[in-house]
Amino acid sequence: MNVIETAEDEDRRIEAHASMTVYVCVTCRRAGDPEDGERPGLRLARETELAADGSGVTVRRIICLANCNRPCSAAIRREGAWTYVFGGLEPARDADALIEGAKLFACSGDGLMPWRGRPDILKRGLIARVPPIGYEEESA
């Protein structure tokens, strides 16, 4: 079936993407990285900003996501939904995956990032899923 996107559909898609924020830890470095060299986390932030250009996804640099055992780290957040924290990211490889994941998450109706269609690094590198403020678990 051939689906043509209307201007209204495009506006909704852009608005959904604009509600997405990717936070990239700029202080991330691996054990053995020189203390005075450029940090891989900063490189990941720069690459992610480039990947986000024109997508509507906001990229924010953040100092320390406290995931030092699995650098480089980033979080994908959507207002009123779960926040996802990822580690083991490579600056040259995974910036596009972060933006692709954010766009996939933006279009989900249930506030969860779908597993299907998620880039592999966002499956393997998942560190935590944090509930939205005010979330109350339904009793089983």
Q: What average pLDDT score do residues 23-29 get?
A: 91
Helix (H, G, I), strand (E, B) or coil at 129: strand
Residue 71 DSSP code: -
Torsion of CA 119, 120, 124, 128, to 10 degrees: 10
Taking the model in full, what pTM does it have?
Answer: 0.84
Q: What average pLDDT score do residues 7-25 get?
A: 68
How would you class 75 by CB atoms within 10 Å of its CB: exposed for 0-12, middle for 13-18, buried for 19 or more?
buried
Cα separation, 26 vs 74, in Å, equals 9
Q: What average pLDDT score do residues 28-49 get?
A: 86
Q: What average pLDDT score do residues 70-79 get?
A: 94
| pLDDT higher at 97 or 107 | 97
pLDDT greater than 50 at residue 1: no
> Percent of the chain having pLDDT more than 70?
86
Q: What is the CATH number of domain 17-127?
A: 3.40.30.10
The pLDDT value recorded for residue 21 is 96
Calculate the average pLDDT of the chain.
Answer: 86
Amino acid at 14: I
